[in-house]
A and B are shown apart, each in its own frame.
Chain A
Amino acid sequence: EVQLVESGGGLVKPGGSLRLSCAASGFTFSNTWMNWVRQAPGKGLEWVGRIKGKTDGETIDYAEPVKGRFTISRDDSKTTLYLQMNSLETEDTAVYYCTTVRWTTLFDYWGQGALVTVSS
């Protein structure tokens, strides 16, 4: 059974940093592309970024609003995905989900989400 469990969310001041983790199990993590998607309170879904699997070079793509501030990485030995968030802004307040990616495009399995609140 595929499981994705996010952790690391919390309250942080504007300009601060936070790192989210997504512990994965139940599938071959190293070759699986992974996403981060976020959802501001009461709002819609927004893609944050994606990291490809080992056989595809672990290339990373980011959405424009987070480029230069957020960094996606993975540790295949720990089957864990990370999202390092720097220079946080109040607009980054959201629930952050990690997802698996099927066939390079479909977001098929999702974690339960981690709430990040950016506020002074």
Chain B
Amino acid sequence: DIQMTQSPSTLSASVGDRVTITCRASQSINSWLAWYQQKPGKAPKLLIYKASTLESGVPSRFSGSGAGTEFTLTISSLQPDDFATYYCQQYTNYFNFGPGTKVEMK
């Protein structure tokens, strides 16, 4: 089973800040990584897949990078709508999610 970790678990930031979340896999997953955004009481939303491909309709301030075992999600300028929890997910061998990173208002 592939284990996914994320850091930090909580991130306090202000509107306009550049935000970076890290995701690590317990073994190489090539680029088979997705990022999801979830707001309280709502279903998750696909943001990025294949480590760096932006889902249609997702603002360009979101970007993803990495390959192998280490990945990052970056929000270039945090907007009020971006306060949420972010999950990474590997999909090379079935599916495993990271524990999530909550982006909260500083």
Residues of chain A having any CB pair with chain B under 8 Å: 35, 44-47, 61, 63-64, 97, 105-108, 110-113
Contacts and interface: CB of A to CB of B under 8 A. Distances in A.
B43 A112 contact: yes
Contact residues on B (Cβ < 8 Å of other chain), bracket: 20 to 34
Interface of B: 1, 32, 34, 36, 38, 43-46, 49, 55, 87, 89, 91, 94-100
A118 to B, nearest CB: 21
Nearest to B91: A105
B64 to A, nearest CB: 14
A59 to B, nearest CB: 13
Contact of B44 (A45, A61, A64, A105): A45
Contacts, number: 44
Contacts of A108: 46, 55
A44 B97 contact: yes
Contact of B99 (A35, A44, A111): A44
A112 B45 CA distance: 11
A114 to B, nearest CB: 11
Contacts of B46: 106-108
B43 A97 contact: yes
A45 B94 CA distance: 14
A-B pairs with lowest CB-CB distance, top 3 = A110-B43, A47-B95, A105-B91
A117 to B, nearest CB: 16
A105 B53 CA distance: 14
B98 to A, nearest CB: 7
A64 B94 CA distance: 11
Nearest to B95: A47
B26 to A, nearest CB: 16
A108 B32 CA distance: 15
B100 A44 contact: yes
Given A105-B32, A110-B44, A44 B98 contact: yes
Contact of B87 (A35, A44, A113): A44
A47 B96 contact: yes
Nearest to A98: B43
A64 B36 CA distance: 23
